[in-house]
Chain A
């Protein structure tokens, strides 16, 4: 089995910024309330004519540049998303066509906010076994399109964006462990009820608002804090490392209070965490790769650093990855 690592990263955020002040005009909320409960100050919103694949393609293009490879070298494209352009074809197919990655296999992966971790864990297997050489993993979401903008409990939390990583064989460093998990008994806690084969789209489902995201916030909060600690610890143990070895934790960016509570339980200080939710909110599968890309481009994460990526979300699902950063090949 050969060593696999991330050899390039990219991100793309839509231009439009929606601030807490803007939200004050839309629902009964306040900047102070949102900041103290979530840590979020603003988020990006896709325009009416922007869909998931538009954001994903641009993030993917930037990751290819950063990796110093061309699209025709890609063997596989995985798009992790809960907001695909269409139920089918897969958004990965649309990205493949736009990038002209003609050789690449394509599929979407549904693991919500844990999607990017599930994606890199999957991609990594193909490369480790020698079946594929280069895989593009993209976490991309247009959550603004499935949010109930009248629900002040959820509409303040989410944003749109895309982050991507190119995975390939590495000489030094790379992934040391993965830990994935799921618990379907909590499926109802965070979901998009209609539009699938259980409740196909009808006039009733539209009228009842069933095509919008629903969340039992408090239950999800408790789950998130617990699982973030457990999953990160499990992944570290599999890698034969302890929390003292962590240079940076790149957590899913759902809520600063979840991150703080988990950091405390893990015994890590705030400066060990890469945080961007103040600017982007929760972008589901895009949160971790965007945070990773920004920290790498800012020179915060450098070759040799030990990273723990940890995600959790609808499903319920969770996942962690431990990797030693190998540095990127191409230009940033």
Chain B
């Protein structure tokens, strides 16, 4: 869990240009980290490559916080 979070955090910091400290489990990717819809697509692409998985549009829409991403990856790996 911790390991997944660290990998997700590093991708978010890289793609969204935010500070590491801002990326907490409760942080909303749109509201707190300032991602727009295309940033989220970009993030999904990176996550798919990093974790070797497919994230459908429907699934991507349900993701709101960093914690949602971590839990999604954990339950789909």
A and B pair up = yes
Q: Which chain A residues have a beta carbon within 8 Å of chain B's beta carbons?
A: 36-37, 216, 218-219, 221-222, 225-226, 255, 257, 261
A261 and B42 within 8 A (CB): yes
B interface residue count range (under 10 / 10 to 19 / 20 to 34 / 35 or more): under 10
B1 at the interface (CB under 8 A from A): no
B41 at the interface (CB under 8 A from A): yes
With contacts A37-B38, A257-B38 known, is A218 near B45, CB below 8 A?
Answer: no
Chain A positions within 8 Å of B22 at CB level: none
- C-alpha spacing A221/B36, complex, angstroms: 14
Chain B positions within 8 Å of A261 at CB level: 42, 45
- C-alpha spacing A261/B37, complex, angstroms: 14
A226 and B45 within 8 A (CB): yes
Chain B positions within 8 Å of A219 at CB level: 57
B27 at the interface (CB under 8 A from A): no
CB-nearest residue of chain B relative to A221? Answer: B41
A222 and B45 within 8 A (CB): yes
Q: Among the listed B36, B37, B41, which residue makes an inter-chain contact with A222, where contact means beta carbons less than 8 Å apart?
A: B41
A221 and B38 within 8 A (CB): yes
B44 at the interface (CB under 8 A from A): yes
A218 and B41 within 8 A (CB): yes
How far apart are A30's CB and chain B's nearest CB, in angstroms? Answer: 13
Chain B positions within 8 Å of A257 at CB level: 38, 42
How far apart are B47's CB and chain A's nearest CB, in angstroms? Answer: 11
Interface string of B56-74 (1 = CB under 8 A from A): 0100100000000000000
- A to B CB contacts below 8 Å, 22 in the list: A36-B36, A37-B36, A37-B37, A216-B57, A218-B37, A218-B41, A218-B57, A218-B60, A219-B57, A221-B38, A221-B41, A222-B41, A222-B44, A222-B45, A225-B42, A225-B45, A226-B45, A255-B38, A257-B38, A257-B42, A261-B42, A261-B45
- C-alpha spacing A36/B44, complex, angstroms: 19
Chain B positions within 8 Å of A221 at CB level: 38, 41
Chain A positions within 8 Å of B38 at CB level: 37, 221, 255, 257
CB-nearest residue of chain A relative to B40? Answer: A218
Interface string of B27-63 (1 = CB under 8 A from A): 0000000001110011011000000000001001000
In the A-B complex, the 4 residue pairs with the smallest Cβ-Cβ separation, listed nearest first, are A257-B38, A221-B41, A218-B57, A218-B41
CB-nearest residue of chain B relative to A37? Answer: B38
CB-nearest residue of chain A relative to B42? Answer: A261
Chain B positions within 8 Å of A36 at CB level: 36
Which of B37, B42, B44 has the most chain A CB within a 10 Å cutoff? B42
- C-alpha spacing A216/B60, complex, angstroms: 14
- C-alpha spacing A222/B49, complex, angstroms: 12
CB-nearest residue of chain B relative to A216? Answer: B57
